[in-house]
Amino acid sequence: AQTVTQSQPEMSVQEAETVTLSCTYDTSENNYYLFWYKQPPSRQMILVIRQEAYKQQNATENRFSVNFQKAAKSFSLKISDSQLGDTAMYFCAFRSGTYKYIFGTGTRLKVLA
């Protein structure tokens, strides 16, 4: 069975600084997809970034980028130039052919002014 582990329950970062959130996963499959979702307080989850396992190039979306290490089964999220609006729960998710997501327990990120 696949598992997703986020080992940082809470993190904080100063506005405009860079922060990296960790995620590791376990699977025996070769083809899968990884996602980072953001859940702001009392608001719905939105996709931040996704990575296809067959792509070696790390995904980037504006201030958000990932460090995908397939052999190590690691998928970290880097947020550059942190903004107050980045304050949220961040969930790492794994998805394969069954289409359902398997989520980690989340990292609560607080951006400090």
Partner 1 sequence: DTGVSQDPRHKITKRGQNVTFRCDPISEHNRLYWYRQTLGQGPEFLTYFQNEAQLEKSRLLSDRFSAERPKGSFSTLEIQRTEQGDSAMYLCASSLGAYSYNEQFFGPGTRLTVL
| Site residues for partner 1 per CB under 8 A | 4, 6, 31-33, 35, 37, 43-47, 50, 52, 91, 93, 95-106
By beta-carbon proximity to partner 1, the closer residue of 50 and 78 is 50
Cα 95 off chain centre by? 13
The answer to whether the beta carbons of residues 27 and 5 sit under 8 Å apart is no
Cα→Cα distances 105→17, 57, 63, 65, 92, Å: 24, 26, 23, 20, 8
Q: For residue 85, give both structure tokens.
A: 């609006």
> What minimum distance in Å lies between the beta carbon of 16 and partner 1?
28
How much is the CA Rg of the chain, to the nearest whole Å? Answer: 13
By beta-carbon proximity to partner 1, the closer residue of 56 and 113 is 56
By beta-carbon proximity to partner 1, the closer residue of 18 and 31 is 31
Q: For residue 46, give both structure tokens.
A: 């939105």
By beta-carbon proximity to partner 1, the closer residue of 78 and 95 is 95
> What minimum distance in Å lies between the beta carbon of 13 and partner 1?
21
> What minimum distance in Å lies between the beta carbon of 39 and partner 1?
8
